[in-house]
Structure 1
């Protein structure tokens, strides 16, 4: 009886939340938020989303939703871009090999690598009866700091996967044991906006972070940042299993390194650039749909994995990725 009452109570709440796949758009050294126009950027990124992605995406360069012709994401009205640092395995000879990513098994089969993207309102079950405001055109933000030498934010996590459905425990740094299902990185972005600025010099000050661990309800927004926006989260599943039979360090550490040279994980970070078409995201946040129930025009247009996988961009930076002695600089084999 208790479970029936609980289910009935939940049914009376708005459950507007998005969870969807975005297949790989590109893997290259570009970062139009932190290093606009720099070719190449300081380190390698795993990039998904709309094919308007390029080295320079300043607001005056135009709306990605208008410039893009396709997207690697499930929702065909989402031309946003989402990216994070790439993971490498460090061999005993000092060379590095890129760790591939894999799709979440809660999402459609056939997605080419990619990332799981969330836009939640309060938690998995309720929007808390608060108005959720979509991001404005030109909006961008980052989560985490590449220079961090200790835990930077509650919302940045690692999970040692037993399988693709594992979500706990969440760790503050790389797991030190071999993970039979791979390693997941989780990036929860702040969800309180100042309501004025689409960016800030550090790409974070226009936001305020009240995020808790594991999609737990965020705290109230302060007066300085009063506008509640969707809670954006990335889950990236790294297939480290192929390296579990290779030699591991004998000092108790682990062999994985993020592409800016971090083997602890404290500097794990992610970038977001808004690119939803017209009022699509606001319509979704105003609806009562939940996850895949938001697809097929209810209220968002969606596409199949084959269409997502077909969306690609030509690399701006062409370089050898695997086998180099420094993941931050790779092999310096640049072709402009």
Structure 2
């Protein structure tokens, strides 16, 4: 199926044709991290993964991800990229329970997953500069589990009053019960050095000019002069079943943690491996209306059917005595 327009505005933002916005169902939830811990089976903490079924523990950068994959959980059938983040848990009285995900209101019955954005400039303008699509073998991360503050304005949370809430944003987990759950937001840097498809820490080949909340990014510096798409993730964590304040910690703190046991939320991070087929993403970035160049889509049902077998088999659900990878045992 061909699509000629996918540009749906957010609350308080004027709709335009200036970005790709689409959903990807959950591909897998397991302890693998081919960027930070390539080849490790299992990796240190649990991740939720979306995108193409070529995902594995190593993800050799010399291998074309789009050629390796045979299906994708994403709306666009030409996108075999992989996107992943940590997983949210409720922590209570020394036990942990995984928080489920649910789709954005505009994504239909897609299975969990995330909403992904590729933005040229902002929601109101395509901009006047060339946007260079990511290249075969490109990969990057944003954020780090060891972060001790919220200094990166692109890593934020929204306490959802309803499924369409977008503001305000906070640098740490919301401290109150959220009526419609918690949205985790990851904005990646968009300025490339023009040379390296990766770097030892998966970040130095990129430069972050992000100002948060989908505001226009600043100019790229001479060290990283190539403007690439502004990649962003939104994940809706369905915390509604855990909103009974009587079940929260007695000291009044909020009860949620990431799967590496971060209760503040500063260490939120995301990973990306490029895997679009051929020049599909570049065509989108070159187009005034973005999708007028024949990017193909697939049905939500087909996206939901794409999956992979777990390489790491362990219990990640139910009440656990510790987080996966930290001696977890089912109760």
Question: Normalising by structure 1, what TM-score?
Answer: 0.90
Q: What are the within-5 Å matches in structure 2 for residues 57-206 of structure 1?
A: 57-60=59-62, 62-92=63-93, 94-107=94-107, 109-206=108-205
- Secondary structure of the 1:170 match is coil
**CA distance in 2: counterparts of 1:91 and 1:298, whole angstroms:** 50
The equivalent of 2:277 in structure 1 is 277
Residues 115, 236 of structure 1: 8 Å contact kept: yes
Q: Deviations over 1:147-180 (max 9, x none)?
A: 1111241100000001111000000000010000
Post-superposition offset of 1:331: 4.3
Residues 24, 50 of structure 2: 8 Å contact kept: yes
Residues 27, 308 of structure 2: 8 Å contact kept: yes
Query: Which of the numbers 27, 33, 37 marks the counterpart of 1:25?
Result: 27
The answer for unaligned runs of 5 or more in structure 1 is 1-10
Residues 319, 331 of structure 1: 8 Å contact kept: no
Question: Normalising by structure 2, what TM-score?
Answer: 0.92
Post-superposition offset of 1:91: 2.0
The equivalent of 1:8 in structure 2 is none
In the alignment, is residue 257 of structure 1 matched against residue 257 of structure 2? yes
The equivalent of 2:320 in structure 1 is 324
Q: Deviations over 1:214-243 (max 9, x none)?
A: 000000000000000000000000000011
Query: Which of the numbers 40, 46, 49 marks the counterpart of 2:48?
Result: 46
**CA distance in 1: counterparts of 2:306 and 2:324, whole angstroms:** 27
Query: Which of the numbers 285, 300, 305 marks the counterpart of 2:300?
Result: 305
Q: Deviations over 1:119-164 (max 9, x none)?
A: 0011112121110000110000000011111124110000000111
Q: Deviations over 1:25-53 (max 9, x none)?
A: 00000010111100000100000000000
- Secondary structure of the 2:158 match is strand
**CA distance in 1: counterparts of 2:141 and 2:203, whole angstroms:** 6
Extract structure 1 runs of 4+ deviating beyond 6 A: none
**CA distance in 1: counterparts of 2:158 and 2:166, whole angstroms:** 7
